[in-house]
Amino acid sequence: MVKKAIENFNISQICDSGQCFRMTPICENTDYVPGEVRMKVIASDRYLEIHQIGKDCIFNCSEEEFEEFWKVYFDLETDYSVYMARINPNDKYLMNAAAFGSGMRILRQDLWEMIVSFLISQQNNIPRIRRCIENICREYGEKKINENGEEYFAFPKPEVLAELDEDALKACNLGYRSKYVVRSARSIVSGEVNLDEIREMPYKKAREELLKLFGVGVKVADCICLFALHHLQAFPVDTHIHQAMKVHYKRGFPKRRYKRIEGVLQQYIFYYELNFSPGKM
C-alpha cells in the first residue's frame, strides 16, 4: 500500500477523459467513506485499486511496483500546474476548461493496447468502447488473479489476434472494426510495422508509421501518439474538439503559443466539452 498526497490528480476525471478504457469505479456498500472515490485499473497485465479523497490517494500495490510502473503510468512526476500557468488569461474558455479538468493527467499507456483501443473508438462512444475491450480481453487475454482472489484478463498480445479470421472480433461487438484490429496485429507480427522502433521515434515520424496500419487515420494516430507515446504536441480532433474549435477558435487553435503541450490542453477541452460545456455535442 502506497499513500501519496498529489496535486492536480483526480482519478474520476481521468477515468472519464476518453483516454483509457480499463478503469472502472468500485461500488461497495461496506466501509464507505464520504467523498472517497474507489477505482480499479487494468493496464496491460497489471491490476490496481486506488482510493482517493481530495488530494490523498492510496495505491493498493507495493512501493516497488508503484515506483517502477504506476508512478510512470499516471505521469505523477510532472507538475501540471506548469501547463495550466501557460494558458493565456484572456482565453476565458480555455481557463475554464483547465479549471474544470484540473485533475487530468496524460497517461503513459501501452502502445499496442492504445492502437487497438483507438481503432475500436472510431464512430463509437466510451461505454461501448469499454465493453468491446473487455470482451476481447475476456476472450483472448491471459487470465490473471489479483490480490483479492478475483480474476481479470490481460490485454491480448498481437500474436494472438493476428491468428484470427478478420471477422472473428465481430463476436466481441467490434463490427467492421474487427478487420482493422486483426490486420493491424498481422502487420505488427510480420514486422511490417515495428512497435519498438515507433516508441523511439519523434512525433511526426511516429504518426507517419502508425498511419501504415489498416484503419488508422490522422485522428486515431494522434490519439495513439498522445496517450501511448506521450507526444504532448499531438492534438487529436474528434467531433467534440471540432465543435469547440468552431465556436471558440474560429482562426484555429493557437498551437504556436502552446508548443509541445497542445495535447494536454486538448484533454482539458475534450473533458470540458464532454461533461460540462453548454456547447457540448
User: What positions carry a catalytic annotation?
Assistant: 219
CA 153 from centroid of its chain's CA atoms: 18
CA neighbor of 56 nearest in space, from 1, 105, 7: 7
Give the C-alpha separation, 63 to 18, whole Å: 28
Q: Helix 92-100 to helix 262-275 angle, to the nearest 10 degrees?
A: 80
Kindly report the number of other CB atoms within 10 A of residue 222's CB atom: 24
Answer for the pair 119, 216: CB distance below 8 angstroms, yes or no.
yes
Q: Is 38 strand, coil or helix?
A: strand
Give the C-alpha separation, 189 to 180, whole Å: 14
Kindly state the cell numbers that stand for 258. Answer: 502552446
Give the C-alpha separation, 123 to 139, whole Å: 23
Give the C-alpha separation, 277 to 29, whole Å: 33
Which residues sit opposite 50 in a β-bridge? 39, 59
Give the C-alpha separation, 240 to 128, whole Å: 17
